[in-house]
Structure formats: structure tokens, C-alpha cells
Amino acid sequence: MAEMSEAGVASECIFCKIAAREVPADIVHASDRVVAFRDVNPKAPTHILLISKEHVPSVADVTEDHAEMLAELIRSAHHLARAEGTDRTGWRLVTNVGPDAGQSVYHLHFHLLGGRGMAWPPG
């Protein structure tokens, strides 16, 4: 398990490093709790990752104390969907939990996807 700093940053977590601006990313939104940046391997014309600045491994680790942060993540996704123009045709907000679901970075994050038609079920 990664060592945590006093600020709740995991020393080896790439998303913690992006949130701390230690690793470059195409950041499109930032606040006290949330950072959003373009995925380096996009799966849709709009593919933005929204992360909490606090290191939480996944949505399965969320507690009642995270309610405001989760609400801000959702509000930020809606704001970015409007800014990207995907609110007119539709967008998808996805989070993965565990390896079978495709989680590869163990830091709470949501994928905002839009700009193309999407099939159901996904995957």
C-alpha cells in the first residue's frame, strides 16, 4: 500500500501527483476538491477524467464524509459536459471498481465520455 502524506496524498499515485501538479496533464477544471483533465488515451471525442484531490481508492471506499466531494464531482461533470457541447446529445459518467471492471488506477475517478453514440451494455 502506498505511503500517505499528511495531506492524504499517496506517494506513488499518479492521480495524486496530477492533482498536486507534480505530473503534467491537460487540466480543464480545478477546485479545492476536484481536478479534471483530458484522458491521454481517449475512448470518445470527449474523454475527461474527474478525480478527487483526496486519495480515495475507489467509490467502494466512499463514506458519508465524502458527500460534498461526490456532489462536486457530479456538478463538475455536468459543467464540463455543457462546456464540451455533449449536453445536447448525451454523455456518460463512469467509474470502475476493481480489476474485473477495468480499474487500473486506484484513486477515485470518473470518466466523462461524450461526442459519439454509445452502445448498451458497455464493455
Q: Rounded distance, CA 80 to CA 74, Å? A: 10
Residues annotated as catalytic are 109
Mark 45-75 as b/e (b = at least 16 C-beta within 10 Å).
ebbbbbbbbbbbbbeeebeeebeebbebbee
Joined together, the cell numbers standing for residue 45 give 471525442
